[in-house]
Chain A
Amino acid sequence: MELSVPDREFMYSGHVACPGCGAAIAMRFVLKALGEKIIMVIPACCWSIIAGPYPMSTLRVPVLHTAFETGGSVASGIKAALEVRGDHETTVVTWAGDGGTFDIGFQALSGAVERNEDFIYICYDNEAYMNTGIQRSSSTPYGAWTTTTPGQDWKKMRKKNIVEALVAHRIRYAATANIAFPEDLINKVKKAKNMKGSRFIHIFSTCPTGWRVPSEMSIKIARMAVQTNIFPLYEVENGVEYTINYRPKGYLVKEYFKLQGRFSHLTEEDLDQIQEMVEEDWKLLLRKAGVFSGS
């Protein structure tokens, strides 16, 4: 076996994610890295459905399904309760989608991180409200079609940079990860598990249904997001120490866009503009990481 990924599974088959679901793959890797001594908080998101209708559960760890906006506050409460009971071992993990993180749950998340609550917040990002029918979120990227940004009214605002928003809180640890890079993802989750304080991991998770792509392309597209610099793999400690974990091949962004139906309306000019935006973001990141490589 080429990759060092733990063998043990903490997920059962029979979940109800769409075929090729990136969020299901992300959950599988994250649980492999975390092990069993955890409590998971899942605010409303695709995974509220995927985990199975009552009385079934697809996860081998305790899960608390909670309201949309409460990912940060419920985790804070559970951690406090565990401390009262003298359990300093169990890790509290919030598992939320981009809607529950970038938009609806942002206040609770920001509050918890500001208090430096001792928990891990994982956002699996599929770039829109997928299970309610593909409505745009503040994580939906510039240029994307959704059911609320249809036709020529495609989204003309940038994707919110959630990692930078949390870095501004001087969060203990923030990192990006991607389902096409399992080793990097698992290393980051393990690293986060061994820290104290608030930790945030942002996982890029393809949504074949919402992005209008064939299910078998899920990983390929996720990998392309990294190779084009659209979703760089990096981590930030204590809000200041940046590390870029992977040097991308630097493909043109159109290689990524042309694979997806949600971007099919974009013209060459639009793609050129997006290329510039991506390059600008990448240069900014390089500066923050102290890399001055002219590129």
Chain B
Amino acid sequence: MKNSNRANMCVPLLIPRSYKTSEENKTGSWRFLRPRYLEKTAPCSSACPVGQDIPRIQMLAVQGSFKEAWELLLSENPFPGTCGRVCFHPCESACNRLEFDEAVAIRMIERFLADTASRYELQPRLNKLAEKGKKVAIIGSGPGGLSAAYFLALLGYSCDVFESSNKPGGMLRWAIPFYRLPLKVLEEEIARIESLGVRIFCNHHVEFEKFKHLRSNYDAIFVSCGYQKGRRLNIPGEESPGVEDGLTFLRELKSDPSSPSLHGSVAVIGGGNTAIDVARSVLRCGAKPVIVYRRRKEDMRAFGEEIKMALDEGVRIEELKSPLKIEKKESGVILTLQKMKVAGIDESGRAAIEPDNTDPEIVSYDRVFVAIGTEPSEPWYVCDSCSGKDIKLYNSVMRFDGQFPVIFGGDLTTEAKTVTNAIASGKEAAMALDVLFRIGKDFVLPEISRCRVGNGLSVSMEIYLNGERKNRVSHVVSYAEINTDYFNLIPRTPQPRLLREERINSFSEIDLKISGSVAMKEAGRCFNCGICNHCDNCYLFCPEIAVKRQDSEEGGLRAINYDYCKGCGLCVVECPRNAMVLEEESA
């Protein structure tokens, strides 16, 4: 071979060379299990009486989207500033994080969001539907009545609220002391409700005649006048001077904050939140309060944290003592107390009690307050028995007077008589009336059931209005369903508080504000049970590159390409918060 030929010769390429991609290989045909996105219900949301979308609120708070988080709160509850202070936070007791380290401080974040909105005077974007041309009368301007008015107004109804006292707010205004709920917070929240066009008529007591009269001017009535009347002890001497109703005392204290000065030793009979509020207020007025309770401390109906703070402030609790009679003496009263003993535990886990056979104890006090619970102030309010014609909902009862709809809510129908339960009943009543007016009586119960959050008693307005939340299933995510590999132990942020010494001399708010960075850090502890927070583990770990992201302003949508998904299930296991599900492939 000549040299020139050799130089021109090209070495043939003997290596076969691929010229197309593997994408024509539709490996989805291998699949016998199918993963898909399926958002579920967080235990906190299910436990929340108003069904707040707590995991989503935390997700927004972590991102610093405080306004959006606050608006989300407002979509289910017109009182986030109030509930962020006084709610008994069953959400925190249900929090899955409790099994990991400590529950997320959900109430503290709710309050932070409400306070932040108030500080910057933010105006919420509330979606008010078109006027429906119907009028609803609401009796009572407590949390139940005002919530019904708020949601009815948003649904397009015109509402008039009738309040017997001279200012709106019910128990929020008259019973909860300022150290727990400052007046400014309540007034701002009521003003927001009024700004929707709700009219509140104060000094309008609705007695039965007036009630009948209202029927001719309105299309429906919501009755939520609460339990206003203090229950009586039914023992001799109850009428003596120096024996007063606890709730009346709180009401007077709140209407005149210059406050009466008390002295000496004051007995407070009862074991509920009112008793604790009375005792702590008495302390702030300068006297020494003693709570007299017939069962044990742990059986008290008051919230544990309140009892703890009361004890810390110097309130004494005399447990297992039942008053037999009260006698007047020249300055003050003498209480005769029967010592009680535990005789087993009842169904609710509280002690059943009976007198032990010792001689009664005789103690003298300067004053006695009775706070053993409340009852409806007029008999026609009572709605404890349901007839067959009534529609019993989760938090309220719809009754028909002929064809005229009357809904009972608030303390009159809720099982737990708390602020948040009352709000829940007002919201539910608004939804129920809307269903009734739009599509009729037969649809009330099925429609309300459709809006249930998880397996609790709460219903969601967002679900009712067919928001995205309706796509979540009611399955409540358990701790075992959380992939805790993705979470680190972080202690719960403690609620900053006034020092004990600062607390006992004034009615200043005890719980202090937290900063935005603290709120974001605390919200970041949330597992976001059952909802997608766009962590992208599904996308990241997919061996088939079958999870697609389409980034958008909301953080992006994820979709599984079933042409290639082999159904390995990695995405479902690696989803930290159980927002996916793996199901058998249908044939």
Which residues does A use to contact B, with CB under 8 Å? 1-3, 5, 9, 11-17, 19-22, 24-25, 28, 51-52, 54-58, 64, 179, 182, 208, 214-220, 223
By DSSP majority rule, is chain B's interface helix, strand, loop, or mixed? loop
Whole-angstrom distance between the Cβ of A12 and the nearest chain B Cβ: 4
Given A19-B30, A57-B22, CB of A13 within 8 Å of CB of B534? no
Is B352 an interface position by the 8 A CB rule?
Answer: no
In the complex, chain B residues whose CB is within 8 Å of the CB of A2: 535-536
Given A1-B536, A2-B535, CB of A216 within 8 Å of CB of B572? yes
Given A1-B534, A2-B536, A19-B567, CB of A12 within 8 Å of CB of B573? no
Is B330 an interface position by the 8 A CB rule?
Answer: no
Q: Are B21 and A219 in contact (CB under 8 A)?
A: no
Give the residue among B15, B24, B574 with the most A Cβ atoms within 10 A: B574
Whole-angstrom distance between the Cβ of B351 and the nearest chain A Cβ: 43
Nearest CB to that of A216 among chain B residues?
Answer: B569
**A22 CA / B534 CA spacing, docked (Å):** 23
13 A-B residue contacts at CB 8 Å?
A1-B534, A2-B536, A13-B22, A13-B561, A14-B27, A14-B564, A16-B27, A19-B568, A21-B568, A55-B19, A56-B24, A56-B25, A216-B573
Q: Are A52 and B25 in contact (CB under 8 A)?
A: yes
Q: Knowing that A3-B536, A17-B543, A19-B30 are A-B contacts, what are 11 other residue pairs whose CB atoms are under 8 Å apart, sorted by A's residue number?
A: A2-B536, A13-B561, A15-B25, A20-B568, A24-B544, A25-B541, A57-B18, A182-B540, A215-B568, A216-B569, A218-B543
**A64 CA / B545 CA spacing, docked (Å):** 23
In the complex, chain A residues whose CB is within 8 Å of the CB of B543: 17, 19-22, 24-25, 28, 218
Nearest CB to that of A5 among chain B residues?
Answer: B540
In the complex, chain A residues whose CB is within 8 Å of the CB of B308: none
**A40 CA / B566 CA spacing, docked (Å):** 26
**A10 CA / B545 CA spacing, docked (Å):** 10
Is B102 an interface position by the 8 A CB rule?
Answer: no
Using a Cβ–Cβ cut-off of 8 Å, how many residues does chain B contribute to the interface with A?
37
In the complex, chain A residues whose CB is within 8 Å of the CB of B94: none
Q: Are B569 and A16 in contact (CB under 8 A)?
A: no
Query: Interface 1/0s, chain B 477-514, versus A by CB < 8 A?
Result: 00000010100000000000000000000000000000
By DSSP majority rule, is chain A's interface helix, strand, loop, or mixed? loop
Whole-angstrom distance between the Cβ of A60 and the nearest chain B Cβ: 8
Whole-angstrom distance between the Cβ of A220 and the nearest chain B Cβ: 6
In the complex, chain A residues whose CB is within 8 Å of the CB of B546: 13
Is B263 an interface position by the 8 A CB rule?
Answer: no
Q: Are B25 and A14 in contact (CB under 8 A)?
A: yes
**A25 CA / B535 CA spacing, docked (Å):** 18
Interchain CB contact (< 8 A) of B18 among A5, A16, A56: A56
Interchain CB contact (< 8 A) of B574 among A15, A22, A57, A219: A219
Nearest CB to that of A1 among chain B residues?
Answer: B536
Is B20 an interface position by the 8 A CB rule?
Answer: yes
Give the residue among A5, A13, A16 with the most B Cβ atoms within 10 A: A13
Q: Are B536 and A56 in contact (CB under 8 A)?
A: no
Give 5 closest A-B pairs by Cβ, nearest first: A216-B569, A19-B568, A14-B25, A20-B568, A14-B22
**A280 CA / B421 CA spacing, docked (Å):** 59
Is B12 an interface position by the 8 A CB rule?
Answer: no
Is B467 an interface position by the 8 A CB rule?
Answer: no
**A51 CA / B25 CA spacing, docked (Å):** 12
Q: Are B20 and A216 in contact (CB under 8 A)?
A: no
Query: Interface 1/0s, chain B 1-44, versus A by CB < 8 A?
Result: 00000000000000111111111111100100000000000000
Query: Interface 1/0s, chain B 399-439, versus A by CB < 8 A?
Result: 00000000000000000000000000000000000000000
Query: Interface 1/0s, chain B 536-572, versus A by CB < 8 A?
Result: 1000110111100000000000000101101111101
**A5 CA / B18 CA spacing, docked (Å):** 29
Whole-angstrom distance between the Cβ of A179 and the nearest chain B Cβ: 8
Given A25-B543, A56-B25, CB of A1 within 8 Å of CB of B568? no
Is B353 an interface position by the 8 A CB rule?
Answer: no
Which residues does B use to contact A, with CB under 8 Å? 15-27, 30, 483, 485, 534-536, 540-541, 543-546, 561, 563-564, 566-570, 572-574, 582
Give the residue among A3, A5, A20 with the most B Cβ atoms within 10 A: A20
Q: Are B23 and A14 in contact (CB under 8 A)?
A: yes
Q: Are A58 and B21 in contact (CB under 8 A)?
A: yes
Q: Are A12 and B545 in contact (CB under 8 A)?
A: yes
In the complex, chain A residues whose CB is within 8 Å of the CB of B23: 12-14
Whole-angstrom distance between the Cβ of B556 and the nearest chain A Cβ: 8
Given A215-B569, A218-B568, CB of A16 within 8 Å of CB of B536? no
Nearest CB to that of A23 among chain B residues?
Answer: B543
Whole-angstrom distance between the Cβ of A23 and the nearest chain B Cβ: 9
Q: Are B25 and A16 in contact (CB under 8 A)?
A: yes
In the complex, chain A residues whose CB is within 8 Å of the CB of B30: 19
In the complex, chain A residues whose CB is within 8 Å of the CB of B483: 220
In the complex, chain A residues whose CB is within 8 Å of the CB of B582: 216
Nearest CB to that of A21 among chain B residues?
Answer: B543
Give the residue among B25, B541, B543, B574 with the most A Cβ atoms within 10 A: B543
Whole-angstrom distance between the Cβ of B94 and the nearest chain A Cβ: 26
**A9 CA / B549 CA spacing, docked (Å):** 12
Given A20-B543, A55-B19, CB of A216 within 8 Å of CB of B561? no
Q: Are B570 and A52 in contact (CB under 8 A)?
A: no
Whole-angstrom distance between the Cβ of B568 and the nearest chain A Cβ: 4
In the complex, chain B residues whose CB is within 8 Å of the CB of A24: 543-544
In the complex, chain B residues whose CB is within 8 Å of the CB of A223: 485
Interchain CB contact (< 8 A) of A13 among B544, B570, B572: B544
**A177 CA / B416 CA spacing, docked (Å):** 55
Nearest CB to that of A10 among chain B residues?
Answer: B545
Whole-angstrom distance between the Cβ of B587 and the nearest chain A Cβ: 19
In the complex, chain B residues whose CB is within 8 Å of the CB of A56: 18, 20-22, 24-25
Q: Are A219 and B19 in contact (CB under 8 A)?
A: no
In the complex, chain B residues whose CB is within 8 Å of the CB of A215: 568-570
Q: Are B541 and A219 in contact (CB under 8 A)?
A: yes
Whole-angstrom distance between the Cβ of B283 and the nearest chain A Cβ: 48
Given A1-B536, A13-B27, A217-B573, CB of A28 within 8 Å of CB of B545? yes
**A208 CA / B564 CA spacing, docked (Å):** 19
In the complex, chain B residues whose CB is within 8 Å of the CB of A25: 541, 543
Q: Are B25 and A19 in contact (CB under 8 A)?
A: no
In the complex, chain B residues whose CB is within 8 Å of the CB of A5: 540
**A223 CA / B563 CA spacing, docked (Å):** 29
Whole-angstrom distance between the Cβ of B194 and the nearest chain A Cβ: 43
Nearest CB to that of A9 among chain B residues?
Answer: B545
Nearest CB to that of A182 among chain B residues?
Answer: B540
**A218 CA / B572 CA spacing, docked (Å):** 12
**A290 CA / B384 CA spacing, docked (Å):** 74
**A243 CA / B353 CA spacing, docked (Å):** 66
**A182 CA / B570 CA spacing, docked (Å):** 15
Q: Are A219 and B573 in contact (CB under 8 A)?
A: yes
Q: Are B569 and A20 in contact (CB under 8 A)?
A: yes
